[in-house]
Amino acid sequence: MSEDLSGIPTDELIQNMHDDLYDGVVDGVAAGTNELLRRGLTPSEVMNQALVGGMDIVGVDFRDGILFVPEVLMAAKAMKSGMEILRPLLANTGAEQIGTMIIGTVKGDIHDIGKNLVAMMMEGAGFKVVNLGINCDADKFLEAYREHQPEILGMSALLTTTMPYMDTVIKRFKEEGLRDKVIVLVGGAPLNAAFAEEIEADAYCRDAAVAVETAKKLIAIRRGH
Partner 1 sequence: MLADGAMGTMLFQAGLQYGDAPETWNVTHPDAVRTIQRQYIQAGSNIVLTNTFGGTRFRLAMHNLQSRVTEFNQAAVALLRAEVEASGRDDVLVAGDIGPSGEILQPLGQLSFEDAVAGFEEQARALVAAGADVIWIETMSSLDEVRAAFAGARRASADIPIITTLSFDTHGRTMMGVTPEQALQAMTELGAAGVGANCGNGTDELFAAVQRMLATGPSVPIVAKSNAGMPRLVAGKAHYDATPAEMAEYALSVRAEGASIIGACCGSSPAHIAAMAEALRANPAGLAAKPRSEPAPAETAHAATAATDERAARRAARQARESSSAR
| Partner touching 81 among ligand B1M, partner 1, none, CB below 5 to 8 Å by kind | none
* Binding-site string for partner 1 from residue 74 to residue 113, where x marks contact by CB under 8 A and - marks none: x-------------------------------xxx-x---
Distances 35 to 10, 39, 40, 83, 144 between C-alpha atoms, Å: 9, 6, 9, 14, 37
Please, is 23 exposed, middle or buried when counting C-beta atoms within 10 Å of its C-beta (0-12, 13-18, 19+)? Answer: middle
What length does the chain have? 225
Write down the H helix ranges in the chain. Answer: 10-23, 26-38, 43-45, 53-63, 69-93, 113-124, 138-148, 164-175, 193-198, 208-222
Q: Which is nearer to ligand B1M, 112 or 151 (CB)?
A: 112
C-alpha–C-alpha distance, residues 117 and 114, integer Å: 5
Cβ closest to partner 1, residue 1 vs residue 95: 1
Decide: 183 and 219 in contact? Cβ < 8 Å. Answer: yes
120 binds, among ligand B1M, partner 1, none (CB under 5 to 8 A by kind): none
How many positions of this chain bind partner 1 (CB under 8 A)? 34
Residues near ligand B1M, by CB under 6 A: 69, 72, 103, 108-115, 117-118, 154-156, 158-161, 185-190, 205, 207-208, 211
Q: Which listed option, partner 1, ligand B1M, none, makes contact with residue 54 (CB within 5 to 8 Å by class)?
A: none
Instruction: Summarize as ranges the residues that interact with partner 1 (CB under 8 A).
Output: 1, 3-4, 15-16, 19, 22-23, 57, 61, 65-71, 73-74, 106-108, 110, 135, 137, 160-165, 167, 190, 195
